[in-house]
Amino acid sequence: MNLNLTHKNALVCGSTQGIGKASAIQLATLGANVTLVARNEEKLNDVLSELPTDQGQSHTYVVADFLDPEKLQQKISRTNHIYHILINNTGGPAAGPVFGATLDEFERAFTQHLKCNHVLVQSVVPGMKTEGYGRIINVISTSVKQPLNGLGVSNTIRGAVGNWSKTLANELGAYGITVNNVLPGATATERLNEIINNKAKKTGKSVEEISETMMNEVPAKRFAKPEEIANAIAFLASEAASYINGINVPVDGGRTKSL
């Protein structure tokens, strides 16, 4: 099975921590040249220094905010790279019930998750078509399949990203480009810490109690490590996944209650 990514250029978004960082490390380990994207330049530099270069890989970063799609697109165009792999990933929307959500919260989440994914795809697809190789992988959430309580704006926007992605897969498949979604379950990152702390504050329960309840909902009885999500992402990015297109891959230890 060919998992080798030598001479492939990967644009990995939201890569200063968590799932994005683990994905950048895994793709670079398989030989890819990685361009990191996030807001915090200090952390970008730290991650850059952790990426392996033993196979001649060359890595760089772009500082950009996913709340400004136009600027993001300009900055990516200026890198003048052909990208073979795009990992669409950014911070999750704030938690809370959908009924009380403000219009601004929906707009921000739509911009950050859908509009930014879209401008990135528009930037990288011409190069992917030239190369006859493209892997677009969207990090979404299992809420695409089953809404999660207390994540109202997130549940809503994730559905939109899922359908955008499936539509793109239909349009781009003929060019050797695949578009797939990885749906993480509860994964031990800053995002999960925020969600747990938020629940603890709201319910008056301890962080340990909330964590245990959440782990008990997972057949695996534990949270995922970011590397376990990154492994699925790296496989989908490889030649080995060439005939896998337009699907959702839940990586959730079996938590989702449907197929």
Ligand X SMILES: NC(=O)c1ccc[n+]([C@@H]2O[C@H](COP(=O)([O-])OP(=O)(O)OC[C@H]3O[C@@H](n4cnc5c(N)ncnc54)[C@H](OP(=O)(O)O)[C@@H]3O)[C@@H](O)[C@H]2O)c1
Binding interface with ligand X (CB under 6 A)? 14-20, 38-40, 43, 65-67, 89-92, 112, 139, 141, 184, 186-187, 189-192
Minimum separation from the CB atom of position 168 to ligand X (A) = 18
Minimum separation from the CB atom of position 145 to ligand X (A) = 12
Q: Among residues 67 and 215, whose Cβ is nearest to ligand X?
A: 67
At residue 138, φ and ψ (nearest 5 deg) are -105, 125
Minimum separation from the CB atom of position 68 to ligand X (A) = 8
Encoding tokens for residue 177? Answer: 């480009």
Minimum separation from the CB atom of position 4 to ligand X (A) = 25
* Region class of 246: left (phi > 0), else alpha (psi between -120 and 50), else beta: left
Q: Among residues 105 and 133, whose Cβ is nearest to ligand X?
A: 105
Minimum separation from the CB atom of position 113 to ligand X (A) = 7
Q: Among residues 19 and 133, whose Cβ is nearest to ligand X?
A: 19
Place of tokens 């996030």: 38
SS (H, E, C) 161-187: HHHHHHHHHHHHHHHCEEEEEEEECCE
Minimum separation from the CB atom of position 2 to ligand X (A) = 27
Q: Among residues 171 and 190, whose Cβ is nearest to ligand X?
A: 190
Write b or e for each residue in 208-232: b if 16 or more Cβ atoms lie within 10 A of its Cβ, otherwise e. eebbeebeeebeeeebbebebbbbb
Q: Among residues 22 and 128, whose Cβ is nearest to ligand X?
A: 22
Q: Among residues 8 and 191, whose Cβ is nearest to ligand X?
A: 191
Residue type, 66: F
Contact assessment for residue 190 and residue 197, using Cβ atoms and an 8 Å cutoff: no
Minimum separation from the CB atom of position 257 to ligand X (A) = 16
Minimum separation from the CB atom of position 70 to ligand X (A) = 14
Helix axes 226-237, 18-29, angle to 10 degrees: 50
Q: Among residues 133 and 228, whose Cβ is nearest to ligand X?
A: 228
d(CA 132, CA 139): 23
The Cα-based distances of 156 to 23, 65, 101, 190, 227 in angstroms read 25, 22, 11, 22, 27
Q: Among residues 8 and 158, whose Cβ is nearest to ligand X?
A: 158
Place of tokens 């033993």: 54
> How many Cα neighbours within 13 Å face the side chain of 103?
0
Q: Read off the DSSP letter of residue 112.
A: I
